[in-house]
Amino acid sequence: MTGQARTSGAVSTAEPFDSFFARSFPSMTARALLLCGHPQDAEDAVQEAYAAAFARWERLRHYDAPDAWVYRIVRQRLWAVARDRSRTRPAEPDTLQPHPSAGVEQTVEARAVLTALAKLPSRQRTVVVLNCLEGMTQEAIADELGLTRGAVASSVFKARATLVKAVGMSDKTDAGNGRRARRDRHDDLGLVPSHSLARLREQTAAPADPVTAALKRTELWLRAAVARSERPARQLAAVLAASADAEAAEAEGEEE
């Protein structure tokens, strides 16, 4: 079961934390950047989630999908921050450099999607990513974010309309996109390292829904860009340093 510990009789295939981090970080960061209009907030949320996972790794490493646990923490952190940030400063698209294998059209589309997402109110941005990209139903989103289903439905509708207009796509999907999104689900969370955009694109077929397709292509573009950037090494160093500081502070407190 995703995110749950294996039974005691199962054969353990637990991996070291640094291997898990390298495998899942590009996708985790891509998802955070899509959910959040503030790159630094996204980076902070991802770092905090991995730090929490590192502190619990002896238990989490035996989960079927520890990345699902980390991603849930990322969502919680970003949603808490989004409600405050939306009142203090405008969102902005990330400035990641494209992977060398990304074509001009792919980069133009990804930039356009990120710019359009950055202009959405935080609620609309969050729910459209969770609904269209993650495949979460409107009921599940409402439950996770503490909203009414009507508020989620309205936000999804408005966000889709904005994205369709901004990116110049046609939207012929029906009102039941919450149910359709479950069928188009794309939740591998980067189980394969993002070495090239072409390889990433082969992992899943493009969905029929144009909004979902555009978000998915943008996620793949972001994954590849993150994987070739300095972020993985920098963030892993920050997570390990934070853990070392916490252990030192705990040890110092015990001595006192």
Q: Angle, nearest 10°, between helix axes 17-35 and 210-227?
A: 130
Average pLDDT, the chain: 80
Q: Has residue 24 been placed in a domain?
A: yes
Alpha-helical runs (H) found in 56-148: 57-60, 66-85, 104-118, 122-128, 138-145
Residues 6+ positions from 135 with CB-CB distance below 8 Å: 181, 182, 183, 184, 185, 186, 187
How many residues are there in the chain?
A: 256
Structure tokens at 11: 């054969």
Look at residue 203 and tell me if it is in a domain: yes
In this predicted structure, what is the pLDDT of residue 167?
Answer: 82
Q: Is residue 3 pLDDT above 90, yes or no? A: no
Which residues are 5's β-sheet partners? 63
Residue at 4 is within a domain: no
pLDDT at 211 over 70: yes
d(CA 133, CA 129): 5
* Alpha-carbon span 151 to 155, nearest angstrom: 6
Give pLDDT tens digits for 117-128: 988 999 999 999
Q: Which residues contact 35 (CB under 8 A, 6 or more apart)?
A: 42, 74, 75, 78, 125, 126, 129, 130
Residue 224 lies in a domain: yes
More confident of the two residues 9 and 58: 58
The string of pLDDT tens digits covering residues 58-109 is: 999 999 899 999 999 999 999 998 877 655 566 666 678 899 999 999 999 9
Let me know the angle formed at the C-alpha of 25 by 23 and 27, rounded to the nearest 5 degrees. 95
> 39 lies in a domain?
yes
Checking if the pLDDT of 8 tops 70, the result is no
Calpha distance 121→90 (Å, rounded):
9
- d(Cα 152, Cα 142) in Å, to the nearest integer? 6
Distance CA(166)–CA(175), nearest Å, equals 20
Each residue's pLDDT tens digit, 160-203: 999 998 887 766 554 444 444 443 344 444 433 334 444 444 44
Please list the alpha-helical segments (H only) found in 119-209.
122-128, 138-145, 149-167, 177-183, 197-201
72 within domain boundaries? yes
Write down the pLDDT at residue 178. Answer: 44
In the numeric block, which tokens belong to residue 220?
């793949």
- Does residue 140 lie in a domain region? yes
Task: Please give the pLDDT value at position 242.
Answer: 85
Confidence of residue 14 (pLDDT cuts 50, 70, 90): confident
Cα angle 42, 48, 49; round to 5: 90
Quick check: 208 pLDDT over 50?
yes
Asked whether residue 36 is assigned to any structural domain, the reply reads yes
Mean pLDDT of all residues in 54-60: 93
The encoded tokens of residue 234 equal 């920098």
Torsion of CA 160, 40, 24, 22, to 10 degrees: 150
Give the DSSP letter of residue 61: T
Q: Which domain holds residue 96?
A: 17-187+195-255
Number of domains in the chain: 1
Q: Taking the CB of residue 151, how many other CB atoms lie within 10 A of it?
A: 16
Percent of the residues in the chain that have a pLDDT greater than 70, as a whole number: 72
